[in-house]
């Protein structure tokens, strides 16, 4: 069976272009300029890279970008004060506080202080609850990106058997909810699940987000399954070279899957494109406009 490699980089570029066109439209037709505030506390090198990328791509899509860089010793109260100001600021439609936060700050308290309607990360308990009860919500960007790739590939997911390996609040749990909302039969596997290879072999759709290089082996994958690899792990190979790999043993799984996301270049680029999409959606809702049409159909 020849595997189809899912090009998340190309798909995310098309989604970003679409967001850009819709942003230009709401600006021209309604004088609405969607704005995203990105808050970084401290100087974690990986976070700095992510935040720079989020700001650059916001500007490329025509969003207003508001940068807030706070020192490592910023108190929880000072951060909560900034969030309260951003909640009130009508030019800010989306607020993202980059994680992880320094240890002295309670991340849950901070995330739940963000106005749920501006919570473009989809991490607020209200958005989590809305997603799980089938109400309109802002959905976490990585699982949203995975779902867009799956729907583009498969169209209707009704009745498909899906396994989500990993149960994080950021990826695994919202991913399972999104699949359930599309009428899939969903299994969530985690470190205490018994015989995960057997569970995995029953799935038409496999989504893996655990942070363990090469966990999912080729013989875990049912012939013809779709494999979405959310993991990003840095490893040093036998030649001493450092490189990024996913949670799936890619070469092996490619022998069995009908389609698979590579790492890098699969799910990763979709996350920021979905952040831009969420910011536009949030801005439209706050202005009483209908949700923008952000479906890409490659077929």
C-beta closer to ligand GUN: residue 53 or 202: 53
Residue with tokens 């020849």: 2
Among residues 131, 178, 177, 172, which one has the least CA distance to residue 150? 178
Contacting positions for ligand GUN (CB under 6 A): 96-99, 121, 141, 271
CB 282 within 8 A of CB 36: no
C-beta closer to ligand GUN: residue 58 or 271: 271
Residue with tokens 């700050």: 105
CB of 68 to ligand GUN, least distance (A): 13
Residue with tokens 């109260």: 77
Which residue's Cβ has the minimum distance to ligand GUN? 99
Active site residue 152: no
Among residues 197, 198, 261, which one has the least CA distance to residue 229? 261
C-beta closer to ligand GUN: residue 115 or 121: 121
CA-to-CA distance for 96 and 196, rounded, in angstroms?
A: 34
Among residues 50, 151, 37, which one has the least CA distance to residue 95? 37
Torsion of CA 49, 50, 56, 59, to 10 degrees: -150
Residue with tokens 């899912």: 6
C-beta closer to ligand GUN: residue 187 or 271: 271
- Strands 94-97 and 35-41, bridge-based pairing: parallel
CB of 202 to ligand GUN, least distance (A): 30
Active site residue 98: yes
CB of 32 to ligand GUN, least distance (A): 24
- Residue 196 pairs in a beta bridge with none
CB of 174 to ligand GUN, least distance (A): 11
- Marked catalytic residue, from 16, 115, 119, 121: 121
Active site residue 54: yes
- Marked catalytic residue, from 54, 118, 160, 222: 54
Written as one string, the DSSP assignment of 240-290 is S-EEEE-SB-HHHHHTT-SEE--TTTSSHHHHHHHHHHHHHHHHHHHTTPP
C-beta closer to ligand GUN: residue 38 or 227: 38
C-beta closer to ligand GUN: residue 96 or 189: 96
**SS3 of residue 97 by DSSP:** strand
Catalytically active residues are 54, 98, 121
């Amino acid at each position: 069976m020849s595997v189809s490699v899912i090009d998340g980089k190309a798909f995310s570029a098309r989604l970003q272009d679409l967001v850009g066109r819709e942003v230009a439209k709401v600006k021209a037709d309604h004088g609405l300029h969607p704005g995203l505030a990105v808050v970084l506390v401290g100087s974690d090198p990986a976070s700095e890279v992510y935040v720079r990328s989020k700001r650059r791509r916001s500007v490329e899509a025509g969003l207003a970008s508001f940068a807030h860089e706070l020192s490592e010793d910023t108190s929880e109260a000072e951060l909560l004060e900034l969030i309260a100001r951003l909640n009130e600021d009508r030019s800010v439609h989306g607020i993202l506080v980059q994680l992880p936060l320094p240890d002295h700050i309670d991340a849950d308290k901070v995330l739940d202080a963000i106005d749920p309607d501006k919570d473009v990360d989809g991490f607020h308990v209200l958005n989590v609850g809305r997603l799980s009860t089938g109400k309109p919500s802002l959905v976490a960007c990585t699982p949203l990106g995975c779902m867009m790739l799956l729907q583009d590939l498969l169209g209707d997911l009704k009745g498909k058997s899906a396994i989500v390996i990993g149960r994080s609040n950021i990826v695994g749990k919202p991913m399972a909810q999104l699949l359930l909302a599309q009428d899939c039969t969903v299994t969530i596997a985690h470190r205490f699940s018994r015989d995960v290879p057997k569970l995995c072999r029953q799935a038409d759709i496999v989504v893996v987000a655990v942070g363990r290089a090469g966990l999912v082996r080729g013989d875990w994958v049912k012939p013809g399954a779709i494999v979405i690899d959310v993991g990003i792990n840095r490893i040093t190979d036998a030649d001493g070279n450092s490189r990024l790999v996913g949670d799936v043993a890619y070469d092996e799984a490619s022998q069995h899957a009908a389609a698979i996301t590579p790492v890098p270049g699969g799910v990763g680029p979709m996350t920021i494109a979905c952040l831009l999409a969420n910011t536009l959606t949030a801005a439209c809702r706050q202005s009483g406009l209908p949700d923008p049409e952000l479906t890409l159909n490659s077929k």
